[in-house]
Structure formats: C-alpha cells, structure tokens
Structure 1
Amino acid sequence: MKLIRGIKTKKFITSISVALFFIMTLTFFTSCGNNSNKVGSNGQKITELTWYTIGIEPKDYKQVITEVNKYLEEKINVNLNMKFIDFGDYTQKMSVIINSGENYDLAFTCSWAGDYLGNSRKGAFLELDNMLNTESGSLLYKTIDQRFWDGASIDGKIYGVPNQKELGVAPMWVFTKEYVDKYNIPYQTLHSLEDLEPWLKVIKENEPGVVPLYITKGFSYTVFFDQLVDPVGILSDDQTLTIRNMFETAEMKKSLETLRRYYQLGYINADSATAQDDKSVKRLVTKGDGQPYAEQIWSKDLKYDVVASPIVNTLITNASSTGALIAISQNSKNKEKAFEFLTLLNTDKTLRNLLNYGIDGVHYEKVSENSIKLLNQDQRRYEIPYFGLGNMFITYTLDSEPDTKWQEFKEFNDNANVSPALGFKFDASKVSSELAAINNVLEEFKSTLYSGSVDVDEYLTKLNTKLKEQGIDKVINEMQSQINQWKANKN
C-alpha cells in the first residue's frame, strides 16, 4: 500500500508540476505579448515595434518615447521600444541577437557597424523591393536620393532604408584657427599632403610644444582609392575597374614617403604609431572625414576653433552610401507596420524632430519655423546619434546654423564624384579565410607604416610579401572576376 500511495503521490506531484509549467509559460507569453493586445484611444490595436539602434540611451529617453508613442498611436497605431547598444559593442551584440533568432522588428545597420552586407546576404534582413514598389512605398523611395538606393543595392535587391545625410567621403585637413590667423596660412589652397610642408616648417620653427601634423593610430591616407575590402579595390577614377592591392600602387608609395620625410623632420608627433586621439595635444593640422559645417562640430568637440579644406573631391562609394541604414528583421512579426513606420520616420517632420531633439520647451525651443535652440547645453538630458534615426534633411537646423544648411548638403551630394564601382558588392565567401589572414597582417603593419616612423621600402616590402603569402592575389582575382561580371550585367 505504501508503494502504491507513493506512486499516486508522485503522479499527483507530476500533474501539479505540469500544470504549473503551463501556467508559467502562459503567463510568460502573455506578459511578453501584452503590448500586442493594447488598444489605443481610437479603439484599434497598437503594434509595438522593437528597434535596436546605435548609441547610449539618453537620460530622458522614457519621457521622450512617451510623447513619440502618443504621436505614433494617432498616426499609425504603433508604439516604439527602442533598445540602445553602444558603438563599440554594436556589431558583436547584434550578431548574437540575429544568430539567436530573436523576434525584433528594426535594426540600425551600415558598412562599419551591424554588417549590412553580411547580414543581408545571410537572410537576417527583409528584402524591401516589393514594399518599395507599392504606391505607398514609392513615397519613401522618392524621398531618398537615388544614389543611396544604388549603394544599398545588394545583387539587385534592397535590404535597408538609407538614412539620408551626406553621401560621400570628404577627407579634409583640419587646421587650428589660432595658428592659421597668426601666420596667415592660406589653408583654403592647401589640399595635397605635399601642400602642407611650408607651413609645417613654420610651426616647427616658431611654435615649440605644437605638433605640426598630428597623427594617431587610426590615421590612413587612402584618398586616391576606393577600398572594396581592405586593402583591395580600385583607383577612385578608374573606369576600367582594375582591381589592385592599394599598397602596391605608386600613389600609396609616394604618400608614405612624404609621411616618412615629415616624421624625420620632426613635423609628426613621435608616438604617431600608437597615439590615441588626445584633444589636449596642440596641433596645426590633422586629418578628418567631414561634410558641410563639420568645422562647427569639430570646434565644439575640441573646444577651440578649427577651419578645414578638402584634400580631394568628395567621393561616393559603397561604404559611404551605406553609412547608416535601418533594416527590417526577417523574423519580425510586424513587417508591414515596420515598413509603415519607416515611411513615416523619413517623411514626417514632427516625428523625425521629436526623436532627434526631444520635446519642445523641455529639450529645445523654436526660434523660427525650422530652427531651434537647444536648452541646458551643459547638462543635456536628451542626446542621440542623429544620423541613425532616418532622413536628416527634414530635421530642424540649430540657431548657430544657416537656414540653408540642408540645401547645402544636397548641393554637396550633387557635386560629389561617384566611384565607378558604386553598386558592386563583393561576395567574399570563396576567400573568407584569406581575408581573415590578410586582416591580421594589416593589423601588424598599417599603423606603423602610416605613422612615418619606419623605412618605407623595408616595411612596404615586408607588408606586400606577407599579403601575398596570405592569399591577396586570390582575393584580387576573385574580385576582378566578379566585378567584370557586374560591369557586363550593368551595361
């Protein structure tokens, strides 16, 4: 009898356990899906969209998103749940999220974070062509410059909505205005690396404690080249689309020899191979990648005035035209609503500026219809990466900026040169192991070579020898074959 009662007891406990399991499971899914059952003031169901974006969550995020969601409920019956991932962690954490099969709706992605090309090719992001070809989708398509769509195209398909901003790469020399004024330096006429030399000499001889040309570990000088994968690509004006190793070009050798000479003359900081950007270091000039009004941003960041001149004409490349996009997850349960939201985000000024600047009267105040003054600048509680949030051309200008700012950005884009390889996307699957090995070689040599601190002939020979040993010729041949086919199909 004891045995039988024991069995009955175990069966009873098991039954209770199973029942509890189902109750807990039901509770979990109910709690996870609460927002799907939320009804707005108009009596319609509210769809919650989960959006992963880059940056740190602002202090006043909850206050702002409450207002955003009120507006979205009225417009399209949507609420947003924005999840922020910091810049340095974004690619890795999004990779984990995607590989886990998580059900999210939207994600920031680009050429330098979130791996737009790789994640699109492996099916993580939704192909948008069918949606863009609808009557409502055409509104979004027409809003964004065609060249952004060309850059976003992968094997003829679109997998992300570009955030409209500057289109091209604009390498610039950034000069400290104090020394420009003091020595009447004609900075606007200085473009090439060699153009700088007379003025580097002036600073070296007259300003002890000032670095004439400030270089840090991340410095590169690839202004003549469109890197399709580092360091392989084409010369930026090469209509023949001849694939090359950048470090085997005459242009690269000349630039490296100039940097070496400047280092030996004491024009470059001694720690250039390892230096992290130190804003306290006094310098005449450094290199930056800019756009219209970049000087204002740099001056604010450095806390002193700078002026800039272009090194070469702005170039639109695959990398620059995919500098910021928002993709819809293939696993999203709300694909149509996500696309509807992206259309609104890129066309509706009220929504775009609310996400960009926060709440009128709390985070900013309007000084005219399209211009604002930010409040509490010293302790701003709502700061967010503007470029990650959709069409920038419909955002307000700041009171320190001209009303013509976005028109000038359009002109900047229109006047840019276009890489002959724009739209070509390299499929690296056949040479992935070679590219990984090549990247290790570059990590070993690039910073040292660009620093000017080593003999160019010796180190450039070592670099190219190791690149060949790791299969760079195989990468070049594979890319040449693919780009030849792309060119033939394009024509």
Structure 2
Amino acid sequence: MGKSINRIHYFLLMLLVVSLVTAGCGSSNKEDKAPTNSTSEGKSSSDNAGAADDSKLSPYNIVMVFPGPEPKDQKLVQDEINKILQKKINATLEIRSIDWSAWGDKTNLMFASDDPFDLMFSAGWFGFTQQVAKGQFIPLDDLVAKYGQDFTKTIDPEIVNAAKVNGKLYGMVANKEFAADKGLILRKDLVDKYKFDLSKVKELADMEPLFKTIKENEPGVTPFITTGGASPSAMILDYGYYDMLGEGPGELTRSGAGLKVINKIEDPKYMEYAKLMRKWYQAGYINKDAATLQDIGKSLGAGKAFAQTGSFKPGSNLDNSRTQGTELVEIQLAKPFTSTTDATSAVLAISRTSKDPERAMMFANLLYTDKDIMNLLINGIEGKHYVIKSDNVIDFPAGVDSNSSGYPPTRNWMLGNLPLVHLWASEDPNKWEAYANYNKSAEKSRALGFAFNAEPVKTEIAATSNVEKEFKNVIVTGSVDPEKYIPDYITKLKAAGMDKIIAEKQKQLDEWAKAN
C-alpha cells in the first residue's frame, strides 16, 4: 500500500507553500512549562508516565494535526484508540485533518493565533527545518530521555540524529525506508513486444533507441512523458546524484570526498541532462506540454505513454503497477542513497502551543511499541475496514476497496513504528525484512544529519525561487535550448542572491562538520 509514483512529486511542490509560512515566532522552549497536573511534591503529572497506574494523570485531549483528507470513519477509529489511551495514559486523541492544498494557510493561521495543539506531521521535504527555525516546534531531547525510550530503542541513532537542528532533536522519524533509488518506469507489455534488453540501459542516454522504436511504431503513445518536477534532472540528478542540502541553491555531489557546496546549475552534469532532453524533445519523444503539465497521472496505465521517471523502494514496482493498472518494470539509474531529507521523510513533532508536551511524548512513544494503536491509526477497525486473512495478513472486507473504505490506509508511511502494522494481502510478506536490508545497503551522504537553517537567507531564497519558476521547467523538459537559457538562468540566480545562499550553506555545513 505504498505511495503512488507521483504523490511525492505533488508533495515536493508543497514545500514551497510551507517555506512561505511566516508565523510562529514565539519561544520554542516549552519543555519547562507547567504541566497539566502536578503532584504534591510539585512534579509534573507526566513524571508518572512509566507507571501502570494512571490515576495521578489528569485527563488530557491530545490533538494531532495531519495533512490529507479526513477519512469518513476517523471519529470511529479515534473512539477505539481512546479506549486504549485512557487506560494507558488517561488521554484521548483528536486528529485534525487538513487538505494538502490548504496546509500552508491553515497551519500558518494556527501558529499565528497560538491555537493549542500537540503533535504535527512534518518532513525534510515539507519545511521541517524552516518550522524549527520559526520556533514552531519544541526540542524533544529531555522529553525523549524521560518518556520516549522506545523510540530511541527502535530507530538507528544515525537516523534519529537526522532530525536534529543545531544539536537539538525536534522530531521523531517514522520507522520505514530511509533511502530512495531513482530511475525509469516502463510499460512491460511494450518492453516484451519489442524484446527490449533492459540490461543494456546503464545511463539515461541508453534509452534513446527504445524511445525511437516506440515513436516509429506506436502511434498515440508518448515515448517519455514528464513534467518539470518529474524530469530526469529533478528526479534522478537532484535526488540521486546530489544531496540537495535543504532549501535553496547549493548542493553536495554524492560522489567524491569533502564538503564543498556547489551550484548544480553550473555543474556539467546539469548541462548534459538538459541537452539530452532537448534532443529528445525535438525528436518528439517527450510530450510537448512537459513544461506546464502538473501531473502525469495514470498515463502509462491508460496506454498514453511508454516511460516516466520513478522513485523506488522495496515493493514499489508492485505498488506502481497496481496504481497504474498495468504491469510495469523498473530501471535503476541511481542506487539507494540516504540524505537528511530521506531520513526525515516523515516526522512527528510537538507544537510550541502544546499544553502538555509530556503527555504528547507519552503518546508518541506508544506509536513505537503498541500494535493495537498503530493498526487502528493506519488500517482502521478490524471487521469494518479490514479482515484478518492469515497470521499478520489483512485484506478489505467483501465488497470494500480502497476507494469505498471509510478509512483507507493512506497514512501507512507517515508515523510510528510501521513494522508493527498488519501487511495487506497485496504486499510482499517479507516487506519489512526487505526494508531493513534496503536501509542497510543504502549509501549514506557525507552530510547525513546536516539540517540547513534557511532563515538568514530567506529573502534570497524567495528571490531565487522566482527565478527558478521562470527557467527550471522549460530547461529540464527540453522545451528550450539549454546552451542559450542556462547562462541566462545562472546570471539571474546570481543577481537574486544565489552566491549568498551557497556561502551560508557552506558556513553552516562547515560548522556542523566541526561539531560532528
């Protein structure tokens, strides 16, 4: 039940929205504030979290804010979760769902009005470090030490540390894949029809003969469908060849040694990919609306296209084939890589407006040990939203599917210790063993754990972002001559403050390296 091919492309666009959030400038240190209840000795009610007896804890409603549409049966699921929470930590859970498209505006208003809530989803690609810089989240080190030991027992310390900013922990990462590899997704029916030997495809350019065959023999089929965000430059280079080092210009090449921050637009590899895309665009291999198209959708499944870029993990080919409604094959062009962004691709943080951070941490810690809570949160209620098929395997009840379910498992990547949850009948029974091996095999960035604070250069980042809107999509989709447009792109980026951003990244990276 993994993410669809294009969901991450849409989510990456949301990063721009979150980065424009301007609220939340209050104090970020809420660990010392008064708890919901105190004992006669003046201790926080949460000091009793480790005890089985919850009688010394006052009732508390934990509010957790998550992106995405609200499932129809969310209230029913919450009620079941609360039967467990009331016994364990004398608390109830309220999930507030906010549509992805409205996330920036609504969370901005929540922080601006000091709306009390406790937990919030965030991610390295979704403005996590910017939210920390704005003081929207509180540091968790002391809370984890007291009430979050199961989190640190579950997650690799190197991955735990990836959610640190300036040496302090601000988020609890979900236990899932912490890496990604990139490449191309192809329709298997056409691969078989023309007997394409995919073992010969080692580089992007090796796809050219395949695209030529499709162009000449399959009328109405686009050989390579893409968008600005799904282009090989954006997908394969940005997240396979570089560590993007957070928001704004300034990247670290994956290969080599040292921590020299470069401008990828001036890297010969960027020009190489842009020229190849231009060649393919002129040859008719690429869709003519690539620079403006927002979503590829199910073009492969609908028979409208042959290939597109993809982000892979164990089981992704099965997931993507199911989503597209046709059998697909994957070609890996960038091996598994773990950067800070990958390691923090799903994070649970505590809001500075929480009235009881201790209780919020107690609940968050349960997400790493309690199978019942996790299965309710992710899969819903047994018998209503799923049925047990055998052992740890579940499926939808008769007559129900992901579209008709009152609680579809759309949060199956977003929080907690995900190996605790049941596997769906459509999933690999060895999924979590495969994920563990995948994480171990991934190459780790030399800057893993570095989190860029963009606040000192937020004006320049906004300015360079506007330049990027003008140039990026037309260049990376082959819609214009890169040898003409890239020099102009660089000139305008420099005028907008690119060099200042890169210098700030280099400064922060050097300071991080000295401390680590």
Q: TM-score, normalised by structure 1?
A: 0.87
- The change in CA–CA distance for 1:444 and 1:487 in structure 2 (over 3 A counts) is same
Give 2:222's aligned amino acid. Answer: V
- Are 1:167 and 1:321, in contact at CA under 8 Å, matched by a contact in 2? yes
Q: Which residue of 2 aligns with 1:32?
A: none
Separation in 2 of the partners of 1:112 and 1:486? 20
Separation in 2 of the partners of 1:232 and 1:83? 36
Query: More deviation in 272-281 or 432-441?
Result: 272-281
- Are 1:245 and 1:476, in contact at CA under 8 Å, matched by a contact in 2? yes
- The change in CA–CA distance for 1:411 and 1:78 in structure 2 (over 3 A counts) is same
Q: 1:258 aligns with which of 276, 281, 293?
A: 276
Q: Which residue of 2 aligns with 1:379?
A: 404
Separation in 2 of the partners of 1:359 and 1:468? 55
Partner-residue secondary structure (3-state), 2:367? helix
- The change in CA–CA distance for 1:42 and 1:257 in structure 2 (over 3 A counts) is closer
Q: 1:309 aligns with which of 306, 310, 331?
A: 331
Partner-residue secondary structure (3-state), 2:387? strand
- Are 2:60 and 2:90, in contact at CA under 8 Å, matched by a contact in 1? yes
Higher relative contact order (CA 8 A, sep 6+): 2
User: After the TM superposition, which residues 176-191 of structure 1 pair with which residues of structure 2 at under 5 Å, given as runs?
Assistant: 176-187=187-198, 190-191=201-202
Q: 2:453 aligns with which of 410, 420, 427?
A: 427
Q: Which residue of 2 aligns with 1:482?
A: 508
CA deviation profile, 1:126-180 (whole Å, cap 9, x unmatched):
211112223x532221112333212211111111111111111322311111112
Partner-residue secondary structure (3-state), 1:289? strand
User: How many Å apart are 1:330 and its aligned residue?
Assistant: 2.0
Whether 1:294 and 2:319 are equivalent positions in the alignment is no
Q: Which residue of 2 aligns with 1:226?
A: 243
Q: Which residue of 2 aligns with 1:56?
A: 69
User: How many Å apart are 1:76 and its aligned residue?
Assistant: 2.1
User: How many Å apart are 1:387 and its aligned residue?
Assistant: 1.7
Partner-residue secondary structure (3-state), 2:450? coil
Q: How many residues align?
A: 449
Separation in 2 of the partners of 1:440 and 1:399? 46
- The change in CA–CA distance for 1:185 and 1:75 in structure 2 (over 3 A counts) is farther
Q: Which residue of 1 aligns with 2:132?
A: 120
Q: Which residue of 1 aligns with 2:352?
A: 330
Moved over 4 A (4+): 41-45
Q: Which residue of 2 aligns with 1:440?
A: 466
User: How many Å apart are 1:379 and its aligned residue?
Assistant: 1.4
Separation in 2 of the partners of 1:77 and 1:365? 29
Separation in 2 of the partners of 1:177 and 1:304? 8
Q: Which residue of 2 aligns with 1:140?
A: 151
User: How many Å apart are 1:61 and its aligned residue?
Assistant: 1.1
Partner-residue secondary structure (3-state), 2:277? helix
Give 2:393's aligned amino acid. Answer: S
Q: Which residue of 2 aligns with 1:7?
A: none
User: How many Å apart are 1:45 and its aligned residue?
Assistant: 4.2
User: How many Å apart are 1:429 and its aligned residue?
Assistant: 2.9
Partner-residue secondary structure (3-state), 1:307? strand
Separation in 2 of the partners of 1:238 and 1:82? 45
CA deviation profile, 1:354-388 (whole Å, cap 9, x unmatched):
11111111111112221111230151211232222
Give 1:380's aligned amino acid. Answer: S
Partner-residue secondary structure (3-state), 2:512? helix
User: How many Å apart are 1:408 and its aligned residue?
Assistant: 0.2
Give 2:434's aligned amino acid. Answer: E
Separation in 2 of the partners of 1:188 and 1:370? 36
Partner-residue secondary structure (3-state), 2:260? coil
Q: Which residue of 2 aligns with 1:407?
A: 433
CA deviation profile, 1:306-360 (whole Å, cap 9, x unmatched):
1212221111112111111111112211211111101111221111011111111
Give 1:379's aligned amino acid. Answer: S
Separation in 1 of the partners of 2:278 and 2:303? 21
User: How many Å apart are 1:461 and its aligned residue?
Assistant: 0.9
Separation in 2 of the partners of 1:169 and 1:88? 25
Q: 2:371 aligns with which of 349, 359, 374?
A: 349
Partner-residue secondary structure (3-state), 2:114? coil
- The change in CA–CA distance for 1:257 and 1:405 in structure 2 (over 3 A counts) is same
- Are 1:187 and 1:308, in contact at CA under 8 Å, matched by a contact in 2? no
- Are 1:147 and 1:321, in contact at CA under 8 Å, matched by a contact in 2? no
Separation in 2 of the partners of 1:450 and 1:97? 37
Query: More deviation in 136-145 or 322-331?
Result: 136-145
Whether 1:165 and 2:176 are equivalent positions in the alignment is yes
Separation in 1 of the partners of 2:326 and 2:84? 40
Whether 1:319 and 2:319 are equivalent positions in the alignment is no
For the pair shown, the structure with the greater C-alpha radius of gyration is 1
- The change in CA–CA distance for 1:271 and 1:296 in structure 2 (over 3 A counts) is same
Partner-residue secondary structure (3-state), 1:174? strand
User: How many Å apart are 1:184 and its aligned residue?
Assistant: 2.2
Give 2:495's aligned amino acid. Answer: E
User: How many Å apart are 1:437 and its aligned residue?
Assistant: 0.6
User: How many Å apart are 1:209 and its aligned residue?
Assistant: 1.0
Gaps of 5+ in 1: 1-35
Partner-residue secondary structure (3-state), 2:329? strand
Query: More deviation in 471-480 or 278-287?
Result: 278-287
Give 2:305's aligned amino acid. Answer: R
Give 1:410's aligned amino acid. Answer: A
- Are 1:152 and 1:158, in contact at CA under 8 Å, matched by a contact in 2? yes
Query: More deviation in 100-109 or 421-430?
Result: 421-430
Separation in 1 of the partners of 2:297 and 2:379? 29
- Are 2:148 and 2:364, in contact at CA under 8 Å, matched by a contact in 1? no
- Are 1:292 and 1:409, in contact at CA under 8 Å, matched by a contact in 2? yes
Whether 1:394 and 2:406 are equivalent positions in the alignment is no
Partner-residue secondary structure (3-state), 1:112? helix
Whether 1:452 and 2:478 are equivalent positions in the alignment is yes
Query: More deviation in 210-219 or 339-348?
Result: 210-219
- The change in CA–CA distance for 1:425 and 1:389 in structure 2 (over 3 A counts) is closer
User: After the TM superposition, which residues 24-35 of structure 1 pair with which residues of structure 2 at under 5 Å, given as runs?
Assistant: none
Partner-residue secondary structure (3-state), 1:48? strand
Q: Which residue of 1 aligns with 2:442?
A: 416
Give 1:453's aligned amino acid. Answer: S
CA deviation profile, 1:273-309 (whole Å, cap 9, x unmatched):
1123242462111012221111222222222221212
- Are 1:237 and 1:420, in contact at CA under 8 Å, matched by a contact in 2? no
Give 2:209's aligned amino acid. Answer: P
Partner-residue secondary structure (3-state), 1:386? coil
CA deviation profile, 1:164-217 (whole Å, cap 9, x unmatched):
111113223111111122122233553421121121111111111111111123
Separation in 1 of the partners of 2:474 and 2:285? 16
Give 2:405's aligned amino acid. Answer: R
Give 2:264's aligned amino acid. Answer: M
Gaps of 5+ in 2: 1-44, 46-52
Q: TM-score, normalised by structure 2?
A: 0.83
Partner-residue secondary structure (3-state), 1:286? strand
Identity %: 35
Separation in 1 of the partners of 2:142 and 2:450? 21
